[in-house]
Amino acid sequence: MELSERLKKLPPYLFVEIDREKRQAREAGRDIIDIGIGDPDQTPPQFVLDALSASLKEPGVHRYALDQGAPEFRNAIAEWYKTRFNVKLNPDTEILPLIGSKEGIAHIPLAFVNPGDYTLVPDPCYPPYKGGTIFAGGEPYLMPLLEANAFLPDLGAIPAAVLKKSKLIYINYPNNPTAAVADTAFYRRVVEFAAKNKLAIISDLAYSEIAYDAYKAPSMLETKDAKEVTIEFHSFSKTFNMTGWRVGWACGNAALISALGKVKSNIDSGVFTALQKTGAAALGAKTGHVEKMNKLYQERRDTLIDGLNSIGWKVPMPKATFYVWARLPKGNSSSIAFSQKLLKDADIVATPGVGFGKAGEGYIRMALTVQKERLQQAVERIKKIL
């Protein structure tokens, strides 16, 4: 069977390639320090595990979930958004549970993008922004995220001819992979830009709760009139160490939510109800879990960056996410070649910046998802090869 043209257009999925190389190295008996994929090494908090255990015993949770999702889950999301961002959401029309935010982000182009349409995609970016567009028959128009512009897209540089055929604009702050943050003034510009050009804003807010030095990330939906043009995606994966559970949500403009719900009703049968009940319990808990995790990640951040700076590799401190986005050390120009050098000569897995897009060339991404002692070992190994 010949592959479809859409599948042929997709680049190799970055993390699949990295996982293959990592597996081969471990099978060879090498001691690999994996700071490549952003998969938390901590388990979900005990109150989350207890909530799941209790939910599994409830009658009815093992049947098909409603497409709209369990009312208690949607109500918990609405309450969390009101408390965290002072944003009021209608749980019946402005919230949609997802099987992880990734699937919603990948599916949203199917609701709005026709063959030949553009979506405005940051470069570098989380790969499903491009992949979802391609599967819908659209064309990603890449907006370079440059260090000189604080890794924010230059909206004024997008050609009028592209804007005329564009349907969606992807915004992701705190950002993966660059760890950059955006302020409310930037969000106001994005909302005005989207309204003027008849664009829907796809706001990926997966990393909002991982932040340091008293920084608190805003929501796009806090911006005046944002709900007229915005659908925002959130996840339990990073906040509660639940990456394998696959539960998240979309919220915002009711028409955008309805359209995504219509796509999903033809593809899946909803989020496992026990997970929705567990998610509601997680959002409503007052346990200090988020603060505990941020303290842990901040200690790791400081360990890695202070260590790299001490050996001559100057790397900035991120305010949010558990990623470190570093310009390659002097004498290196290829992020793939440098990541291969790290694996071959230092037994370290890190992610080449170009894997996230052309504008990521010259950088490498490291994840703070290993113990502090392993990060100290990584610094010592890097010191030897530099």
CATH class of the domain defined by 46-284: alpha beta
Interatomic CA distance for residues 16 and 288, integer angstroms? 34
Q: What's at 62, amino acid-wise?
A: H
pLDDT for 82 = 97
pLDDT at 88 over 80: yes
Domain spans in the chain, listed from the N-terminal domain onward: 5-44+289-385, 46-284
pTM for the model stands at 0.94
pLDDT tier for residue 286 given thresholds of 50, 70 and 90: confident
Distance CA(176)–CA(230), nearest Å, equals 19
CA distances from 14 to 126, 350, 352 (A): 10, 12, 9
Short-list 97, 26, 42, 14, CA closest to 242: 42
Q: Find out whether 18 and 353 touch, Cβ atoms under 8 Å.
A: no
| CATH topology agreement for domains 5-44+289-385 and 46-284 | no
Interatomic CA distance for residues 122 and 77, integer angstroms = 27
Q: For 252-279, what is each residue's pLDDT tens digit? A: 999 999 999 999 999 998 999 999 999 9
CA dist 316 and 169 (Å) reads 28
Model confidence at 81, pLDDT cuts 50, 70, 90, reads very high
337 token code pair: 């070649």
User: Residue 144, preceding bond cis, omega within 30 degrees?
Assistant: no
Q: Report how far residue 38's alpha carbon sits from residue 87's, in angstroms, rounded to the nearest whole number.
A: 28
pLDDT, the chain, mean: 94
**CATH architecture of the domain formed by 5-44+289-385:** Alpha-Beta Complex (3.90)
